[in-house]
Structure formats: C-alpha cells, structure tokens
Homo-oligomer: A and B are copies of this chain.
C-alpha cells in the first residue's frame, strides 16, 4: 500500500517543464505498464492496456508504444509477448544499495552502522561493496570536494587503477585519501592531506587499498551548504 501513491503520482518522469513531452495518455500508459508489472511480476499485453484505457484496437495501443519507444522510454522486440523493455525503471535489481557513513574513519572501522542506505544507479560508478562518506572540511579540497559532500568510494583492484586516481588506503583504525601514481612497475602514493608527502612502494600487498573515489555528490538543499565565494 505504501508504495501505491508513488506509482500513481507517476514515477516515470513527466519531464516537468516542457522537457521531452509525453502526451497525457502516453504518460498514463507508461505508468500503467510499470504499475501492472510491479503488481503482477509480468507485463500487461497490448490487449490489457487497451482494455484499461478503453481502446478497442490493438493497433492503436501498439502505436502508443511505438511513440514511447521513439521518445526513448521503451525498447520493443517484434512479437515478444508481454516483453517490452521499460527503460529507466528500477525493479530493485540493478541499483546498488550503498551505505552512507559520517566519515571515512567510521566507514572503514568495520563495526559502525551506516547513517543511511541509499540506492545508487551503477551509472554513477557504484559497484557491489561501494559506500558513501561525508567529506570533512579540506579533506579532498584539491578535487573540488567541499565539507558535507557525499564521496562515493568503490572497491577496486590495484591492477585496475589508473595513474592519478584518488584512492582510500586504510586499516581498521585509520584511513585517508591518496593519489595513486604509477611509474613503470612501481607505484607511489601521494598523501592528499595538506602537507602530506609522497610514499613510494613496490609491494602493494599489505597497503590496505580500500577503494577508489568514484565520484561525489553535493546536495544543495540548504543555502548554507552552497559555496557562495567564487574560488
């Protein structure tokens, strides 16, 4: 029941202000398809859609689906029954569930429960095992990250790391940000703390690579969180 509202309020983007217009009925059909899918675990047939909207010809419904496909909301396949691929719908399967911690120390300590749990589209760079930490003042200033920003850290293998990537190295009692520098077969790690120095290492086995900074998000809900001074 809880979720019913959200579905009725059209979870598929209305593209608010004239953005990529769906007609009223196109939007309703798309919403119906998602609602039906969620409720039944299978899709409505074109006939089901027609019945719902009192459209008597399957051709007409098919044309609406064609319009939705042209506008990028669907992908169809000739003759696949109840088999439209609805794009941009989260069925709970591919979004990664990402815990959010108040600091990187807390996140890596191993025994803290997350501040919250968000679902993050993998397109943002999240993987299985990713987590978010709230940035402290100055912690990642060189990357344009401000205090309070949510920094996404995704697990990675040393072999996957590109030169220049920002990584987290830590143990259970301390963790911090480094820039990874690759020169030939040896690596070095530049401490990103103000005044931090470069450490050279060839044996990365025990360095405790937690992950790599995959991105960050700054939420601008309170004006106070805006950075009003140009820099």
Contact = CB atoms under 8 A, between A and B. Distances in A.
A164 B229 CA distance: 13
Given A37-B41, A72-B114, A118-B124, A15 B129 contact: yes
Interface core residue of A42, A71, A97, A108 (most chain B CB under 10 Å) = A97
A25 interface: no
Nearest to A107: B19
A143 B98 CA distance: 26
Interface in A68-101: 70-73, 80-99, 101
B20 A112 contact: yes
B124 A2 contact: no
Given A20-B99, A118-B121, A90 B89 contact: no
A17 to B, nearest CB: 4
Interface core residue of A3, A9, A90 (most chain B CB under 10 Å) = A90
Interface stretch (A49-57, A58-66, A195-203, A208-216): A208-216
B216 A218 contact: yes
Interface residues of A, number: 111
A214 to B, nearest CB: 6
Contacts of A209: 17
A96 to B, nearest CB: 4
Interface core residue of A83, A123, A220, A223 (most chain B CB under 10 Å) = A220
A117 interface: yes
22 contacts: A2-B94, A3-B93, A3-B128, A6-B94, A11-B93, A13-B98, A13-B128, A18-B110, A18-B172, A19-B110, A20-B107, A21-B110, A41-B43, A42-B84, A43-B82, A71-B113, A73-B117, A92-B93, A95-B95, A143-B226, A215-B217, A216-B218
